[in-house]
Amino acid sequence: MGQVILKKGRDEPVRRHHPWVFSGAIDTRRSSIDDVQPGDVIDVRDVGGGFLAQGYYNPHSQIRVRLLTWDQNDPVGPAWWRVRIARSIARRDWLATDPDTTCYRLINAENDELPGLVVDRYGDYLVVQALTLGVDVVKQTVVQALVDLLQPAGIYERSDAGVRELEGLADVSGLLYGKALPDLVECRENGMALLVDPYQGHKTGFYLDQRDSRRWILTHPLVQGKRVLNAFSYSGSFGVAAALNGAESVTNVDSSEAALDLVTALMNANKLHDFPVENVPGDVFEVLRYYREMEQTFDAIILDPPKFAHSRGQIDAATRGYKDINLLALELLEPGGLLLTFSCSSHVDADLFQKVVFGASEDAAVHAQIIGWFAQPADHPVLLTFPEGRYLKGLACLVT
């Protein structure tokens, strides 16, 4: 087995079970990696040669090793993957028994102690995302374990996430097992009907990570009777939740016309045939400015933008973006208006995000209070040793 030796003082994160070893931590001269194939499992050792952990190796990635086990006598082979996959699924047993929610994340990569592997359930189907080379090379093992444990009708691969480029990998999509998935997979979330496009849909087809926020919108009395602006709407699921809860009207805004094309089917699947909904294709930054110019107001505004900060270096630009849209939204709200505002940038933490929203309220010259806090749901856990896993945060604010 190959091994990498860490430089002096670089073993601490590994001892604390952080799952990543960066290239800069490795003493290349003392490591034995000549016979190691990309994706192979290797040992990680400290400066004195003492065993620390085992992980899979990728010479093309800045994250050179992703750690799998800290036990020397825990061989990483097909049986190992099977046990870890079974554990991750078993941790969701409480969710699997709920007939009202048939779509959720089964495996959340590092945070489920399965670095690089994402598996989402959509009704009878699974969508798999391999984010790393180490997972690419065990894909068949993963598929076999999923088939044995869950007997899905079909498994589709959506390994087309941007981060694969950092691993030196091209995008891959295709059927891995069983029946071809329908163009729109029907599933349920808290009783709401969902239609998920596994082929062209974002992420693995849908934003499963917003389930708790959707539930708030579906059930909170403050949404009732409101004229809702759902900005960055994707296929309009927040709007459907608001409509089901008794909102007066919904305006969805998204730059993706393909996403907006799904709205009508999603409304109809929830028997909202005659509900007043408007779909506006366009750039939210521009559309909000247009509404301000037209003096158009709303009673509730949802802002669920895509990730603005992809690295630390982008934090300043991201906060300017968040401030801009939150400022505009607060200007479009009447007193008593509700702002539901989100950020999915892990580099912008919850404190910074709250400060940005505060800054926006100052510039908009409005006072607002926080009445609710949002985060990623329990099927998107954060491993305590891997705080990077926390990314989604949101605030419910009431304009006073």
Active site residues: 344
CA atoms of 166 and 131, how far apart (whole Å)? 10
Q: Which is nearer to ligand SAH, 17 or 203 (CB)?
A: 203
Of 333, 326, 342, whose CA–CA distance to 395 is shortest? 342
Residue whose CB is less far from ligand SAH, 216 or 238: 238
For 68, what's the count of Cα atoms within 13 Å in the CB-facing half-sphere?
A: 27
Dihedral of CA atoms 379, 235, 186, 98 in degrees, nearest 10, equals 30
Minimum Å gap between C-beta 363 and ligand SAH is 20
Judge residue 289's burial from the number of C-beta atoms within 10 Å of its C-beta, 0-12 exposed, 13-18 middle, 19 or more buried: middle
Collapsing DSSP to helix, strand or coil, 90 comes out as: helix
CB of 380 to ligand SAH, least distance (A): 13
Contact predicate 4/66, CB 8 Å: no
Q: How many residues does the chain have?
A: 400
CB closer to ligand SAH, 259 vs 277: 259
Which CB, 3 or 249, lies closer to ligand SAH? Answer: 249
Q: What is the DSSP letter of 26?
A: B
Closest CA to 298 of 228, 364, 248: 228
Closest CB 252 distance from ligand SAH, rounded Å: 9
Distance CA 225, CA 185 (A): 31
As measured in angstroms, the least distance from the Cβ of 219 to ligand SAH is 16
**Min CB(296)–ligand SAH separation in Å:** 17
Min dist. Cβ of residue 187 to ligand SAH (A): 13
**Residues within the interface to ligand SAH (CB under 6 A):** 202, 207, 210, 232, 234-235, 237-238, 254-256, 259, 283-285, 304-306
State which residue, 36 or 263, has the beta carbon closest to ligand SAH. 263
The residue among 292, 18, 20 whose CA lies nearest residue 4 is: 20
Instruction: Give the whole-angstrom CA distance, residue 347 versus residue 30.
Output: 34
Give whichever of 285 and 358 is closer to ligand SAH, judged by the CB atom.
Answer: 285
Rank residues 282 and 359 by Cβ distance to ligand SAH and give the closer one: 282
**Separation of alpha carbons 185 and 308, rounded Å:** 29
Shortest distance in whole angstroms from residue 210 CB to ligand SAH: 4
Task: State the Cα–Cα distance between residues 350 and 337, nearest whole angstrom.
Answer: 22
DSSP type of residue 199? T
Q: At 373, is the secondary structure helix, strand, or coil? A: strand
- H helices of 295-349, in order, are 315-332
Please say whether the beta carbons of 167 and 61 come within 8 A: yes
d(CA 60, CA 33): 13
Tokens matching residue 174: 């295709």
